[in-house]
Structure formats: structure tokens, C-alpha cells
Amino acid sequence: MNLIEELAKLLTPGQVTANQTMREQHGRDESYHAMKLPDAVVFPESTEDVQKVLTFANEHDIAVVPFGLGTSLEGHVIPEKGGISLDFQRMNRILEFRPADFLVRVEPGVTRSQLNKELKQHGLFFTVDPGADATLGGMAATNASGTTAVRYGVMRDQVRDLTVVLPDGRIMKTGGLAAKSSSGYHLTGMFVGSEGTLGAITELTLRVYGIPEHVMAARVTFGNVKDAVDTAYEILAANVPIARVELVDAASIERMNRHSQTSYEEAPTLFLEFHGNEAGLNTDIAFVQELAEGHDCKSFQFETDSKARAQLWEARHQLAYAFKHASPGKHMILTDVCVPLSELTDAVLHARSQMDRLELFGGVLGHIGDGNFHTIIMIDTDNADEVARAEAFNALAVEHALERGGTCTGEHGVGKGKVKYQRKEHGASYDLMHQIKQLLDPRGIMNPGTIFPIE
Amino acid sequence: MNLIEELAKLLTPGQVTANQTMREQHGRDESYHAMKLPDAVVFPESTEDVQKVLTFANEHDIAVVPFGLGTSLEGHVIPEKGGISLDFQRMNRILEFRPADFLVRVEPGVTRSQLNKELKQHGLFFTVDPGADATLGGMAATNASGTTAVRYGVMRDQVRDLTVVLPDGRIMKTGGLAAKSSSGYHLTGMFVGSEGTLGAITELTLRVYGIPEHVMAARVTFGNVKDAVDTAYEILAANVPIARVELVDAASIERMNRHSQTSYEEAPTLFLEFHGNEAGLNTDIAFVQELAEGHDCKSFQFETDSKARAQLWEARHQLAYAFKHASPGKHMILTDVCVPLSELTDAVLHARSQMDRLELFGGVLGHIGDGNFHTIIMIDTDNADEVARAEAFNALAVEHALERGGTCTGEHGVGKGKVKYQRKEHGASYDLMHQIKQLLDPRGIMNPGTIFPIE
């Protein structure tokens, strides 16, 4: 069988390619994981196109890997068994605005910045903001989050309804438009975070929010990481409804200044943001200042005008790229553990000391309001010793988190890189996950090697 | 086989009974659904006890219905096929406090008021507050919510981890302690709301919150229901972070005054509550007052002291009982639709007019910040005509909601009463739910007749 010819007959010739450059673009993501090429790249334009491709692939035991923009960080989109990379770039329409319901319906190829540009005209915004300008389909697939999850929740909290196509060609809607429901099993929550292993998402109905009346941002620098993390913890413990609380360590600020032309003080820093009415914010901010001063903060710098605030968060979002651009030819390995809040300070200090011990260069940063933090390390994937040290470090961070009730991945997902920690994290429920995988995808065509090892 | 003898051998004789009174207490819930008796009532004292009972029941094809306090409203706990009512009243311990992580671990028989009494000592509270003082296991099983969901979310949002026992005897933990995770399928979300049809919950780790610095409550009366609902909608549309926004109509206030010895004005009313810092609340409240005045509110009455506030919410929680006690011998039928916010006013007015047309007496009330409202109707279950009219009304309300993207149940669950609407609401995904049911419970022993019809 000539795969390209068959797919071209199924759809149209212009929707299928085996061009080498295209295959390479769909062979890896933004992480250090090794490239594997798909046999074909397919561009569906509708749910029915996806149904045709999945039904065909299922009949012929051909692997299918849904692909958004390839910004994943654990090798999710790598076609471990070749087959079809299903690229949603042509399904990038905003299908319906329901501003009165705080809902929007989109195709999976819409990016978060594309959506926010449109929403702004309605006085609305979409909250979830990973570092990359990822597609919303990809963000749902990995249960992405970002800097605002501490206030507004993660991707799973924003998805009200999905249209999904199963490997056997069934098309179904998993939810509805109501703000809550106790009707039947929560399939929406199961497909969010399933990383393309159960089926393909072809439509999403998402919750959006009114742009807050008043926004204030601040940078707070400290003498050491511990004081920064302890301050963040106290803000949360005091129940301040903070919208963003990000840790950026000195090494990361240094990269940021170079990459984003900022001139922030190179010290352990909290980036904060407050949303609400002005009177309430002033009270909250005064209180947070007191807490920071209790930990000898060195400076408390407000970013009051919207331009400086935009620059602050743009620099934060660009941080992974700041590291990447400083190390041409190297690849990123990021840790992504999330721990119970009370374990956060210890976990961050443990990570920092282990990085130093293993002689790895990198930054510590993260969404510490959720107990989630990253270390970004640039490695030369041809240097076996460096790769081994980085992987050993990742394993140490994961072990440390799991022993304290945490998770191996707070927001990046399992992909290929965290498969090896699944059994330890989930125990007996990993078997149940596998049974569900087999129920929905008995021939194992959907993103093989992701979440579960290839058998 | 003598079921009682076998169960007594499996556990201890004191944990098993076939006493007629006991069987009757486990034969119905607080709704109008007809009683069916279990053959045995069993009181497990540990996860291992539950494992023994489920394994035994699965081997012998005996139905098992988990039972909390029997406060469900759609016949969830009715043992449609007899068998075992698994009563969790002896598993009512609070197992672990982690105030620093805003987490608590409990057994399923702990009630929400029991938990809140303990939490108060730590300056914490648990948010989910259905009308009944239900057990937390039951609340998780139905994905319960209540008056605070508009601010803090529903039960599913509070459950961080569950220990569940499957019919085949497997014991598993479904989650962890981290505030977020992208690791594996979201089994916790699937078990929450599964209404005892997939397995039995034997432990829950729940998110709790710091008691707000400042709390203000108010009663706002209007000339008609439409103005009340429109005001609520505008509060939400303006993004005011309100903690509670409840509609109580005039008929309900009248019942409330009689039952709870209150003397509230008998008019369509919004019960409001604000949580936050004082300065922020004052701004929010002034704004809400303006909105209410724009809809010609008749009065805006603050309940500033904590005693009056407690009375307000206690009266609200007792409302279903207020109707029940006013109609001795009658039984409750409640509608529980939830619609997109923009459809709320129409849905409430539609319900009111259909009740009048069908000559049904009842109140309209609800958690309208979520688009969820109830009508409470007391019926004589021996009066076939009255039952038929009430059921016809329920069906009309459900149809109206489903046609607008809503759900047949916002918080009470499917139980036995909403099985007939599942296909219409879920379409093809109802088949997938059924496949998942068969995967976990192939012999169909877990709460037969709930969510899915008995085959």
C-alpha cells in the first residue's frame, strides 16, 4: 500500500505530504527528545476529515499523532512508530463567541494568542498561558497551565465541552454549556490530559473571563531563593486572591535581561500580579508588602503602566527561549514537578543543590503558587555524560516530589519522557488507565509510546 | 446460600443486619422514588472490609449500593435489585489534617458539618454545602455542590485524591497531594460523580480554604423574579467575585419563614454573600447595590453580624425540609436543571409558568450564579395524576434546558430519576460511559439502575 496515495484519495492531495522537511518539522518538539519521522503529514480541515483518517489508520494499524505547533516539552508529538502526524494548523477557526455565557468554541489549531486577540474586543480574556504560544488543542491534550492557574485554574478547569473522534471513527461531544453538571461520567476531564492517546480533539468549548477592572503587577527581589519561596507560601496561606505568583531565580533573570532587553535586578525574584477592584487590591498589596518585608526583600517594584506589565510577562513567557537562544545547538530538558505547598521550599532548595552537585547549568523558576516549579537545563545531546547527568537530576527531582505526595509533571504532561515514572506515581491506578486506553484504542494507534510504553 | 451468615463470616456479625427497620431505612432516599429493600445492610469499618464485601458480591452476582446518609434526591441509594446496602456510617473518621497544604483526608462517612466543625479550629473551612448535611463520600459520588460553587467550585474541584475499591477487589488511589498534575488520565474526576456505579470510595483527600478575612451577606428583594435573576446575571457579567448568589422566590420565603422562624419579606429575593478584604468588599457591595437598584429592588438588607448571617444560610439550607414539613405524608420531586447563564432568566420564567399551568404547588430557588435552579414540588405518590403532572413538568424543564445546551442535573446527580434523559443529553458519549461502566464493573453489581437502566 502506498500510504500517501491512499491518504490523498481519502482527503485531497493538498492535505497530505511526505516532504522531507515537513516530516522533520513533525519529528520532534521543543525538548531534548530524539527525532523520529512520521511517514506522512496530514492536514485535516474538519471533524469528518479526522474521522476518515482515524478510521483508515485503525483499519490498517497505522500510528496517528495529533500535532498542534510542536511546542510540547516531553516528546509528545514524536511519532515513535512513524505513521501519520495529524497537523491541525488548518483547523484554526474561532467557531462561536458566546460572550454572555463567557464561552467560546474553537477548533484545536487556534493558538492562545490568536484567541486572546479576538476576545479582547469583547472585554474578555482566556487565562491559561503556557510559555509557548501553543494551540488550544495541544493545551487541552496536556492539561497545560501557566502563570494564572493559582487564581483561575488549569486547562481542565476551562474546558466545558469537547468534540472528539475515537480511533473507531465515533464522533462524540463530551460535555455541554452549563457551568456545572452532575450528569454521567466526566469524560471531558478524562480527554483533557490524555495527550492524544485516546482519540483526537476536533472542537473545544472554553470558559473565558472578563478582563479585570484593575490589574497591578510587581517584582520583588530577595537575598536568597528561600526567602522568595517562603514569602510566596505566606501569601497563599493568608488566602490573598493573587492572580500570579512566579519565582524567577538570579540565573534566570540574567538570561531574561539578555534575551528580552530588560534590566531587572539579578536576584531571586517574585513576579506578582493582582486582579480585582482598586480598593481591594491596595489592601492586598499592602499586606503582601508586609509579608515580603518580613523576609527582608531587597526591593518591591511596581509595574503600574500596562506596557511595563506586558513586558514583564512577555519576558517571563520567553524565558525558556532565553535559555535556548543562549545555547545554540543545545537542547532543553526541563523538570516539572509539583509538590504540596508545604514542601515547596525544600523541593526548590533540593533541586538547586542537586543541580550544583551534578555540575549542571540552569535556572530555577516556576508557578510556585501551585507548588509547581521548573529547572531549565540546556544540554548537548551528543554528550552522553551530560545527558546522563541531566536525566539523573530529573529523576532525583521526580523521586523527591513523589515521596512527598507530589507529581512528576505539573503541567507539561507525560509524553515520552515521563513514562518511566508513571507506575511509581500511580500504582494500581496505572493499570486502570491502561485498561481505559485499550478500551478506546484497542489497536494502539493513538500516539504510541506516550503515557504508556510501546509493548 | 444464606447471605447474612456469609457476610457475617466475611466481616463480624455486628457489621451485618437484615433487620426490617434497618432495611427500610436503606430502601429509599429523601425523594419521591419508590422504596426497594436491600437484602442486607453492611457496615464496613475499613477499606479492607469494603474490599472483602465487593469481592464476595462480585463472585456471587450480588448488587451493592454504597450508602452515606440517604439524603440523595434522585433515588441513588435505592437498591433496585436488592442485595447489599453498604453503609459507611462507621467509616467517619477525619484521618489527617494538613493545614499547611490546605488539605484534609477523611473517610467517606464524615459529614460536611462534622468536617467544618473540626476545620474551624484551624481557621479553615470546606466550601461545598448541599442543603442536606450529607456525607462527603456521598457528595463526591454525586458531584454535589451548593451555594458557594459560584466562587469555589463544585465537589469535583475539591477532591484531590480518592481511595477506591473496584468490584474485582482492586484498591487504588486516583490522585495525589499536588495542586495540579498533568500525569496520566484524570481518574479522580471520573470517580467523582460516578454515583457508586464504578466502585466504592473509601477515602477522600479534600481541598479546604482559609476562612475569609471579611464576610458580608445581604438579602435583596425585588418586585418580580425576572428582576432578581437579571440582577444576578449582571453581577456575574461584571465579574464581581461574589461568594454566594441565591434566588429564593416568594413561595419559598413563605415556607422558610414558617419553618425557620424568620420574618423575611415574602418577595422574590437574592441572598448574597461576599468574601474578601473589607475595602474590596465595600467596593463590590456598592456596585452590586447599584445593579440591584437598576432593577428596582425593593430592599437591600445587610446581615452584618455573624449570627444573622448564620441564620440566613441555615434557613436557606433547610428550605427543602421546610417544604417537606409543610406537607406531611407527601414526597419531594425537585427539578435540578443547569443552563448557560444567558438562558437563565428564560428558563426560570418557563419553569414558573409551566408549574402554574400544570397546577403544581412549589417554590423556585437555586444557585443561579451557576445557572442552576430548582423547583421543589411536594406530591402525593398515591395520586397517579399528581405524579404524572409532576413528572411531565420535570420532563418539560429538562427538555427546555437540554435544547439550550444545559444539563438535566446541575448537582443532584442522575440516580434512578434522570436515567431516561441520559441518551438525549449525552448522545454517543453515553455509549462510551456505558463501556467504561462495563470495563470496571463487568457483572453490573455496583448500584444497578443508576445512570444506566437495568438491562
Give per-residue pLDDT as tens, A386-400.
999 999 999 999 999
Q: Residue A11 is placed in which grid cell? A: 482527503
User: What are the chain A neighbours of B432 within 8 Å (beta carbons)?
Assistant: 166, 170, 172, 187, 440
Closest approach of B311 to chain A, Cα-based (Å): 26
Instruction: Write out pLDDT tens, residues B242-272.
Output: 999 999 999 999 999 999 999 999 999 999 9
Per DSSP, the three-state class of A396 is: helix
| In A149-264, alpha helices (H) | 149-152, 155-158, 187-191, 225-237, 250-260
Residue A286: pLDDT over 90: yes
Nearest CB among B237, B238, B432 relative to A172 is that of B432
User: CA-to-CA distance for B372 and A110, rounded, in angstroms?
Assistant: 31
**CATH topology match: A3-89 vs A94-209:** no
Closest approach of B189 to chain A, Cα-based (Å): 6
* Bridge partners, residue B365, by sequence: B248, B374
User: What are the chain A neighbours of B209 within 8 Å (beta carbons)?
Assistant: 239
Closest approach of B157 to chain A, Cα-based (Å): 8
Q: What is the DSSP string of A340-402?
A: -GGGHHHHHHHHHHHHHHTT--EEEEEEGGGTEEEEEEEE-TT-HHHHHHHHHHHHHHHHHHH
Read off the pLDDT band of B239 (50, 70, 90): confident
CATH number assigned to the domain covering B327-429: 3.30.70.2740
Rounded to the nearest integer, the mean pLDDT of chain B is 96
Q: Which of B185, B190, B451 to mutate to test the interface with A (most CBs of A within 10 A)?
A: B185
Nearest CB among A340, A401, A427 relative to B172 is that of A427
Tell me how crowded residue B99 is: count the other CB atoms within 10 A of its CB: 16
Complex confidence, ipTM = 0.97
pLDDT of residue B176: 98
CATH number assigned to the domain covering B3-89: 3.30.43.10
Residue B198: pLDDT over 90: yes
pLDDT of residue A238: 86
User: What are the chain B neighbours of A192 within 8 Å (beta carbons)?
Assistant: 186
Decide if domain A214-320 falls under CATH 3.30.70.2190: yes
Closest approach of A400 to chain B, Cα-based (Å): 13
User: What are the chain B neighbours of A183 within 8 Å (beta carbons)?
Assistant: 407-409, 413-414, 418, 421-422, 425-426
Nearest CB among B190, B209, B341 relative to A185 is that of B190
* Antiparallel, parallel or unpaired: β A299-303 and A362-367: unpaired
User: What are the chain A neighbours of B160 within 8 Å (beta carbons)?
Assistant: none
Q: What is the mean pLDDT of residues B323-330?
A: 92
Read off the pLDDT band of A237 (50, 70, 90): confident
Nearest CB among A177, A342, A410 relative to B405 is that of A177
Q: With CA atoms as reference, report the closest residue to B140 among B57, B207, B78.
A: B207
pLDDT of residue B117: 97
Q: Residue A439 is placed in which grid cell? A: 478500551
> Domain A329-428 has what CATH class?
alpha beta
Q: Where are chain A's structural domains? A: 3-89, 94-209, 214-320, 329-428
Closest approach of A17 to chain B, Cα-based (Å): 32
Instruction: Give the sign of the dihedral formed by CA B256, CA B258, CA B263, CA B268.
Output: positive
pLDDT of residue B455: 81
* Bridge partners, residue A17, by sequence: A41
Instruction: Write out pLDDT tens, residues B186-195.
Output: 999 999 999 9
Q: Please state, in angstroms and as integers, the Cα–Cα distance from residue A347 to each residue in A413, B133, B149, following that order.
A: 19, 39, 32
Residue A57: pLDDT over 90: yes
Q: With CA atoms as reference, report the closest residue to B201 among B323, B296, B109.
A: B109
User: CA-to-CA distance for A334 and A29, rounded, in angstroms?
Assistant: 13
Architecture field, domain A94-209: 2-Layer Sandwich (3.30)
Q: What is the CATH topology of the domain spanning B91-210?
A: 3.30.465
Chain A and chain B share a number of CB contacts under 8 A equal to 284
Q: Is A307 exposed, middle or buried (0-12, 13-18, 19+ CB in 10 A)?
A: exposed
Read off the pLDDT band of B111 (50, 70, 90): very high
pLDDT of residue A180: 98
Read off the pLDDT band of A304 (50, 70, 90): confident
Nearest CB among A179, A180, A280 relative to B279 is that of A280
Nearest CB among A179, A185, A213 relative to B433 is that of A185
pLDDT of residue A239: 84
Instruction: Write out pLDDT tens, residues A335-381.
Output: 999 999 999 999 999 999 999 999 998 999 999 999 999 999 999 99
User: What are the chain A neighbours of B345 within 8 Å (beta carbons)?
Assistant: none
Residue A43: pLDDT over 90: yes
